[in-house]
Amino acid sequence: MRALTALLGLLLGAAIPAVALAHSLHNVEQRIREQEKYFEPKPGRPAPEFTLQDADGRPVSLADFKGKVVVLHFIYASCTDECPLHADLIARIQEKVDETPMRDRVQFVTITTDPVRDTPEVMKDYGRAHNLDPVNWVFLTSGPARPEETRSLVKRFGHQFREIEGGVEIHGVVTHVIDRGGNFRANFHGLGFDPVNLVVYVDALVNDLHPEPEPSFWDRLRGWF
């Protein structure tokens, strides 16, 4: 009897963390929704796919990051107001993430909406200027021959994009979050959200082992008979 009790204790001890993880994402979303007015959860449909290139000309696709949570935003390097502030905010979030075991399970992605002027040299300098660590950050472009590609991608992520006199580009300031399965999970709008809330949300996605509800123990038990 004592051996059976010990075995049940081990089984329950293994099951409780799994149940907690299964519900953690939902609970975190609820808490952040209550605390963070700039948080917008998404339905979890597949994120817009893309294949672009990094500052060294290597092709990079969203599919390359399967298994990682992706934190993605759009900027253009000649922007002098919100874009550099957004990059600095992303760098602070990256620093917080990289102080944890999540470092290897989160990818930060910056995409330029001005691939003509944002040359490889500009892109490399931009990361250094804003303290973005290339260990899990990449700056992507369509290249100058395909400028509409990233601008089309901006719209597919829900931004309104336009150019005004003087070549100034207008698009929304949004930090997009994509889960480990490539699903679009949330937006954090503007620059006023608490970075800690985004880090907590990313942590929930990193540790969410059961994005789809699993059958209960009793459901599985009934299936055996």
pTM: 0.80
The pLDDT tens digits of the residues spanning 1-45 come to: 444 334 333 333 333 333 334 447 888 999 999 999 999 999 889
Q: Tokens for 21, please give them.
A: 């993880």
Sequence ranges of the domains in the chain: 32-206
Sequence-distant (≥ 6) Cβ neighbours of residue 102 within 8 angstroms: 69, 202, 203, 206
Nearest to residue 55, comparing CAs of 121, 136, 100? Answer: 121
Residues found in the chain: 225
- Specify the CATH number for 32-206; select among 3.20.10.10, 3.40.50.2300, 3.40.50.10330, 3.40.30.10: 3.40.30.10
